[in-house]
Amino acid sequence: MDMKAYIIAKGGELFKEKGYEAVTVNDICTACDITKTTFYYHLSSKQDILLQLYDVIVDNLTPMLRQMIHLDSSWEQIKLLFEHLITAFIALGPDLNSQLLIVNLQRKERALDVRTNLQEIAVDLIAQGQKRGQIRNTNDPASLYAAAAYMFTGYEYMWCTLRGEFAWKDLFFASLESLLDIEPKLRSHLAPFP
């Protein structure tokens, strides 16, 4: 593991253990046994660690993509994609997710926008699902994915606001089934809305 990845991993561990606000750059340097100079050589702030954690989640899709290949249903593939993302964000916890949202608002640079590779995969899966009749909403697949991605962020926000006491996964999938108009025999998320 290179030094930057090591700092990010250690910083992420400290954030989860103590909470983002309670961790300083000095704490991260001590845990990594590095100087501040080394820290700032690799990263410009502890906010950068948060953004890098987001990138790691999105970039680590390869194992999930291998699982997707074996699924015949486009809808099951889409669910697996979002399941991977939700599970990874839940593992970060409400505090770090809240901080990610705050950093994104502060920087006004859309740091949490969906990465192109993820978007392309999801749009292709939606188009395949439409062709197979599993997704009955005939709107443009890219528009449907954009709506799903913003819906994802909305549920993430609610989950953070309620400190994890919110059925993010179930409610998101119930909404996604409605948005995409999933064929009734494939639906499995009938979670009540709050």
**Is residue 109 domain-resident?**
yes
Are 22 and 93 part of one and the same domain?
no
Written in H, E and C, the secondary structure of the chain is CCHHHHHHHHHHHHHHHHCCCCCCHHHHHHHHCCCHHHHHHHCCCHHHHHHHHHHHHHHCCHHHHHHHHCCCCHHHHHHHHHHHHHHHHHHHHHHHHHHHHHHHHHHCCCCCCCCHHHHHHHHHHHHHHHHHCCECCCCCHHHHHHHHHHHHHHHHHHHHHCCCCCCHHHHHHHHHHHHHCECHHHCCCCCCCC
Are 33 and 79 part of one and the same domain?
no
pTM value?
Answer: 0.79
Q: Could you tell me if 43 and 4 are in contact, meaning their C-beta atoms sit under 8 angstroms apart? A: yes
Are 37 and 52 part of one and the same domain?
no
Are 3 and 58 part of one and the same domain?
no
The C-alpha atoms of residue 58 and residue 78 are separated, in whole angstroms, by 15
CATH of the domain at 2: 1.10.10.60
Range of the domain at 101: 47-186
- Which pLDDT does position 192 carry in this prediction? 55
The C-alpha atoms of residue 128 and residue 135 are separated, in whole angstroms, by 9
**Is residue 31 domain-resident?**
yes
Are 68 and 82 part of one and the same domain?
yes
**What percentage of the chain has pLDDT greater than the value 90?**
48
Q: Please give the structure tokens belonging to residue 138.
A: 């005939």
Are 94 and 124 part of one and the same domain?
yes
Q: Could you tell me if 79 and 173 are in contact, meaning their C-beta atoms sit under 8 angstroms apart? A: yes
Are 94 and 27 part of one and the same domain?
no
Query: Phi and psi (nearest 5°) for 182?
Result: -65, 140
**How far, in whole angstroms, is CA 144 from its chain's centroid?**
17
Could you report the per-residue pLDDT of 87-117, keeping only the tens digit for each?
A: 988 988 898 888 888 887 877 655 556 566 7
Could you report the per-residue pLDDT of 118-167, keeping only the tens digit for each?
A: 788 889 999 999 999 999 999 999 999 999 999 998 999 999 999 999 88
